[in-house]
Chains A and B, each alone.
Chain A
Amino acid sequence: MKWLVAVDDRSIEIDSEQLVSVEEVEPGVYSVLLDGASYEIRLLETSQGLSAEAGGRRFIVDVRNPRDASRSSSAAVGSGRQNVAAPMPGKVVRVLVQLGDKVEAGQGLVVVEAMKMQNEMKASRPGRVIEIRAQAGDTVSAGDTLAVLE
């Protein structure tokens, strides 16, 4: 049977029969022999889906049965609203903007501290602050929305 596997944004077709050259050598670690070349691939289920590490690179992979290959790919980006989310768990140190502020691309919005480092969350493009969901002292988890821009 043929399968489609999305590796990042590239789509690769594989026949089940090819899997004879794949060996799970440790839990989640696969050795692949391909035309005599040896590869080691680490796979891990993450919140963003299946994540792979190989050759010092990271990949997001998605296995699709060809029969339901019509499934839509990753969400569109760059449209009107912009959610500024915490990239890691931490503590909000400071909010640098106020509701209604106009901000430039690259302008700092919220400062989050984790692992003794302060990190400034920045606007990825110009906009206006229409919502602030964080305040100094808050503990936030990865992915929590801190502010919304329009």
Chain B
Amino acid sequence: MFGRVLVANRGEIAVRIIRALREMKISSIAVFSDADRGALHVRVADEAEHIGPAPSPDSYLRVDRIIEAAKKHGAEAIHPGYGFLSENAGFAAACAQAGIVFIGPSPESIRRLGSKTAARTLAKQAGAPVVPGSEEAATNIDRARALARDIGYPVLLKAAAGGGGKGMRRVNQESELESAIRDASSEAERSFQNGEIYIEKVIEKPRHIEIQIAGDRYGNLVHLGERECSLQRRHQKIIEECPSPWVARHPELRESMGEAALKIARAAGYDNLGTVEFLADNGGNFYFLEVNTRLQVEHPVTELVTGYDLVHLQLRIAAGEALPFTQKDIGWRGWAMECRVCAEDPENQFFPSPGKIAQLREPSGPGVRLDSGVYPGWNVPLEYDPLLAKLVTWGPDRNIAVERLQRALNEYAVAGIQTNIAFFREILDDPEFLAGNLSTEFVADFMARRRPRAVPAPELDLAVAMAALAHFQRARQRATVVAEVEGSRWRAEGRGQLVR
């Protein structure tokens, strides 16, 4: 096993990885930009190295500086987390060249699966079902028109190098195509330094269900079941769960999707952890979407239900160990659900809300796991992703997992910046959500039927008013006290002058 590992990331995921390193008695090395000198991941790491200015292209995306930091601190391996350089084959190759282990699949696997068009082709050859769409990138508008016409509107534009909904656009008719391609391509260029766009058929109201896979260097490959991530806003997942309510209703899907995922992984010669994403329609069909060749944001729900620590597993595989289990050892117990708590304002079109966290009360108690990257007093920078923390609960069944999540959300209080905590409370009260009737359009439908909140109970108003008055009087008292102290100081000073 490694003795020293550098974590090439920030925020909650860097903290989560550093925790795993500490558990395994491995020294952790954090990297940070100008904006992150005081960040939690720097505070909790054993060592830390500055890698540049706040904008990520100048820091967290700087391959040269990160490798340099790893060498300086004697790191034997680098964990890339998710986002940033985690799916960058060039970075994986640069690590290898520097004699540092990249904790993830080989650069070849990343290349084969990282480009969505290449992954589609590979999935098709391996015999996995795919969404009808273009095999080639379509940045040329004439070619795009022809491809979209062949596939049939509505179509979805996607960034070939992408993830997380960046560079994704739905196009309902040809007149919208040209500007949508331009927007999607420039967004993809900014996010991934690759503006390639491809086109897919839209599956109406699909569920997003993904399979967690794990493989070692000796050809052993297993799946750890599914996660349902249908709740998305602007193509960003906001609530994830394991098992999927859909798979719970159709248990045969876990095996068939798991097998399809493993076929793709085998074809790519995959090792380490990865996630194969599928769209599922109401007819029991599922279609390959893409492979994420890294740890997923939502990996904790799989950990809580399978009992395995996926970051420990990544480190063991990268250090050359064989998988510690076979497919038949893997079981699923209970239900886990995760909310992505973000600095954004649900009462104002979900605008980002960076700034200082003035107060923070974090939930705890039975069945609660909080993977957080912030602390009271931390100034959430505007340069990065708005994710503050992941709140995950476990219960013996979905109802209890949900009840615990509702309870934990009620304990959670963040002041100073806006968060989506109250919005999650609303969703977790929604009858359709509670019934497990999910789709990737759920949030949009929910927003349309969402009612303005009722006027608060008079008792709550009264309690707020009383607290405010107490606060006001206390502030006034303090001001008076300060004035008196200042006054006496002046007097004392005056006396001093006279004596002299």
Contact = CB atoms under 8 A, between A and B. Distances in A.
Interface stretch (B112-120, B346-354, B435-443): B346-354
Contact of A32 (B361, B415, B463, B474): B463
A12 B465 contact: yes
B154 interface: no
Interface of A, helix, strand, loop or mixed by DSSP:
strand
B415 A53 contact: yes
Interface in B333-352: 343-345, 347-349, 351-352
A57 B457 CA distance: 12
Nearest to A32: B463
Interface in B33-77: none
A19 B359 contact: no
Contact of B460 (A3, A39, A51): A39
B471 A87 contact: no
A5 interface: yes
B483 interface: no
Given A34-B463, A55-B460, A115 B386 contact: yes
B359 A24 contact: no
B353 A7 contact: no
Contact of A88 (B353, B459, B473, B474): B353
Interface size class of A (residues with CB under 8 A): 35 or more
Interface in A57-114: 57-59, 61, 63, 87-90, 114
Interface residues of B, number: 48
A114 B354 contact: yes
Contacts of B413: 40, 42, 53
Nearest to A86: B351
Contacts of A41: 463-464, 467-468
Given A14-B466, A40-B413, A54-B460, 6 more contacts: A14-B462, A39-B460, A43-B467, A53-B415, A88-B354, A117-B234
18 contacts: A12-B461, A14-B462, A14-B466, A18-B466, A22-B469, A32-B466, A34-B463, A39-B463, A39-B467, A44-B415, A57-B422, A58-B347, A87-B348, A88-B382, A114-B351, A114-B382, A115-B383, A117-B386
Interface of A: 3, 5, 7, 10, 12, 14, 16, 18-19, 21-22, 24, 26, 28-30, 32, 34-35, 37, 39-44, 50-59, 61, 63, 87-90, 114-119
